[in-house]
Amino acid sequence: MKLRWFAFLIVLLAGCSSKHDYTNPPWNAKVPVQRAMQWMPISQKAGAAWGVDPQLITAIIAIESGGNPNAVSKSNAIGLMQLKASTSGRDVYRRMGWSGEPTTSELKNPERNISMGAAYLNILGNRPAGRH
């Protein structure tokens, strides 16, 4: 009985020590950056319009959405720069002199999302210290 238990334990441990995890492919940090780089022309245009470094915009896109314009978070942040219509979207609309907030389809539009994201970064960068 002890020998069977020992053999079972050896087989179990051998299976657990496998180097390969086939359920989760290895993480490649370059992939989200490469996906985000495709949006660089729009990031450059929005960055110039709002005084924001296009590389910062691209870095935010890589981290927040991995370059996926249809990304939606659990908290309902939408698009490349993961903007929430009720917060950042509303602030940008106010800055533009518009009422309301952006729609989901507007936030999934890469050009609109990046432009609004750059505008929001500009708003945040120009707030007085200590104001939230």
Could you tell me which of 56, 48, 50, 59 has the C-alpha nearest to residue 126?
50
Mean pLDDT of 91-96: 95
Mean pLDDT of 118-126: 94
- The tokens describing 58, both together, are 């691209």
pLDDT in tens, 37-91: 999 999 999 999 999 999 999 999 999 999 999 999 999 999 999 999 999 999 9
pTM tops 0.85: no
| CATH domain 30-125 topology | Lysozyme (1.10.530)
- The tokens describing 48, both together, are 């110039």
* Residue with the larger pLDDT of the pair 47 and 28: 47
Could you tell me which of 2, 23, 4, 20 has the C-alpha nearest to residue 12?
4
Cα 68 from Cα 110, distance rounded (Å):
9
* Residue with the larger pLDDT of the pair 33 and 85: 85
Cα 63 from Cα 56, distance rounded (Å):
11
- The pLDDT value recorded for residue 19 is 58
Cα 90 from Cα 98, distance rounded (Å):
9
